[in-house]
Each structure stands twice: as structure tokens, then as C-alpha cells.
Amino acid sequence: MRSAFTFNANPARIVFGLGASANVAAEVSGLGCSRALVLSTPFQAEDAGKLAADLGAMAVGVFSEAAMHTPVDVTEKAMAAFEAAGADCVIALGGGSTIGLGKAIAYRNDAPQVVIATTYAGSEVTPILGQTENGLKTTVRDAKILPEVVIYDPNLTVGLPVPMSVTSGLNAMAHAVEAVYAENRNPVTTLMAVEGVRALRDALPGIVADPSNIEARSEALYGAWLCGTVLGTVGMALHHKICHTLGGTFDLPHAETHAIMLPHSAAYNAPAAAREMQPLADLFGGSIGGGMWDFAKSLNAPLALRDLQVQEADLDRAADIATQNPYWNPRPIERQAIRELLQRAFEGSRPE
């Protein structure tokens, strides 16, 4: 018999396709807005300036100081820019950092958001905001945080460097892997998760071989949308907890940490969620942990925490923090087993 489930779909409008970013003005109008503040990181400031120029009077300013982990002082500066420009909405052009800034603004003033997503991290389709103040990261979930419109244009991902494409793609897969065994999973999120991983598995080797392969770029972005959507719909478990612990405590890069940890956390949970994870294992030669590790290796992804400047002496503390505050996971969180998992990830060895 089918298990009971509940399903709340997030009410976002998705606009996907080659050249879709040409529709930004129509999407802003569709929200009843006419004065957009364009957001980006310093790295994508030129693209943001060009977008604002293309929008003409519809763009009333560019704020290109978005930073990793959404620092509150940057948000306050952006809020001041939003008010000074008399903006009535934001357009976030970029990855999770820029999208985080748009969400932080919307969380404070309920400004409608149009996102043009240029990485595979998935933040654009979640009602979740992580922000940092005085070195402390807090996470909030609120309907106001969910962007109203998300535009996916594969053309805008062609410039995403290959190493970042790979780690960002593995970061997306991590959302889907945890979604198939999530406590509050449902049949639709499972379909999306498996298809998302399938799409990224097929696309990433093509991007590594040729970063301008637009078919592979399109398939990867489609997979990233599916994986991000399940991240925003069901609860995450061990893998995300470990990555947040490592990222927050040792200031590690987001996507790389996910990429390294994924085969290990998947292998840890596989015995306890074998049936749920089988469709994913099938995508990687029958073994989810080892198969994903082989896949990551074939893409030249980082495999070892030691390469992210983690010290072996820190692993005990990481295991302590990751096992504090019990949370739901298909397999019980055992301190000794987590410490061993961290050792394998530190060394970059293949999970069995």
C-alpha cells in the first residue's frame, strides 16, 4: 500500500529556456512592478550593469555587493539603496549569494523578486534564507522569502567555470539525494529528485568536456531546478547538517564542501534507506556512495576535506557538533560512525 503523504508545492513561476532572460521586463511588469533594483556580486557587476541598461527606465539602480552567507550589514546597505532609488522590486542575477541578498530584502520589506539563476545551487526555489551577523549564521523560513519569478536561461550559465559547474552540480544532487529519504517526502518530490539527479549525471560530463555545450548546460540547469525545488519542499538530514557544521565552523566553501561530503553521507544512509535510494543507486552503477564518488572523481571534483584546509585535529570537534541537537535522519546518528565518515572524507577515500 502507498504510504500516506502531504504535499505543499511552493507557488513560484518558473520561466525556463534558451534566451528566457530576454523576458525579464515582461516578468517585472507581470508582477505589477516598474522600478527594479538589480542585484549581483562584484564578480557579476558587469552583467548586472548590462541587464540594467537593457531594462532602461525599468531598472532604477544596481547594487553589486552581494556576498557569501548574506551578511546583515550588506543587506542593510542594499535596503538603503532600495529605498533611495524608490525601487518596487528586486532582480537578483547570480547564484546563491546574490539570491540570498534579494531574499533578505524581501524578508524585510516584502519586495517582489525576479531571480535569474546562474548556478546550480537551487536557492532561487526555496523559502529559506541563511544570513550571518557577528559571525553567526541563522536560518529563517518564510513565505515572503520565496522568489515570485525564476528565470532559467542556459546561455547565462556558459560562463560558469568548469570546477564551479561541477561542485555546484554535485551540491544540487545533494538536495535530491536527501529528498528521496526525507521524513516528509511525497511521490512528486521523489520523482523530481530522481529526475534531477539523472539530468545532472548526464549533463556534467558534457560540461567538463566542453563548457560551451549548450545542450549539457540546458540539461544541468533543468536538473538544478528540480533538485532546488525538492530542497525547498522537504526536510534535509545528515548531509546538510554536516555541511552546515563544517561550513560554519571552519568557514569552508559551500559547493566544494557539499561535493566532497555527498558520497560519504549517502553511503552512511544507504543501509537504512535502501529502498528509497535504489533509483539513485541505479544511476551510479548500483552503489550510491561508491558510484557517486567514482562519478565525482571522473569530473575532477575535489574529493578530500584536507584539500579545503581542514586540519585532521578539527575532525573530533566537527563530529561533536554534527551529532549535537538530534535531528531526523533515516539512520541513527552515531558519534563514532560519523567520526569515521569524516576521516574518510578528510582523506578523500572511496566509501564502500
Q: Taking CB under 6 A as the rule, does residue 159 contact ligand NAD?
A: yes
CA pseudo-torsion sign 230, 182, 192, 67:
positive
* Binders in 62-81 for ligand NAD, by CB under 6 A: 68-69
* Window 94-123: contact mask with ligand NAD (x via CB under 6 A): xxxxx-x-----------------xx-xxx
CB of 224 to ligand NAD, least distance (A): 10
DSSP string of 108-123?
A: HH---EEEEE-SSS-G
Out of 12, 15, 41, 322, name the contact with ligand NAD by CB under 6 A. 41
* Window 278-317: contact mask with ligand NAD (x via CB under 6 A): ----------------------------------------
Cα–Cα dist 246/317, whole Å: 10
Q: Taking CB under 6 A as the rule, does residue 156 contact ligand NAD?
A: yes
Q: Taking CB under 6 A as the rule, does residue 229 contact ligand NAD?
A: no
Out of 126, 229, 269, 323, name the contact with ligand NAD by CB under 6 A. 126
Asked if 100 contacts 146 with a C-beta cutoff of 8 angstroms, the reply is: no
Q: How far apart, in Å, are the Cα atoms of 83 and each of 79, 158, 303?
A: 6, 34, 45
Which are the contacts of 186, defined by CB distance < 8 A and separation ≥ 6?
5, 6, 7, 234
Identify which of 240, 341, 232 has the alpha carbon closest to the alpha carbon of residue 7.
232
Count of chain residues binding ligand NAD (CB under 6 A): 28
Enter the C-alpha cell of residue 339. Answer: 567520526
Out of 18, 128, 308, 321, name the contact with ligand NAD by CB under 6 A. 128
- With H, G, I as helix, E, B as strand and everything else as coil, classify residue 296: helix
- Residue showing the smallest CB distance to ligand NAD in the complex: 96
Residues that bind ligand NAD (CB under 6 A): 41, 43-44, 68-69, 94-98, 100, 118-119, 121-123, 126, 128-130, 156-157, 159-160, 164, 168, 254-255
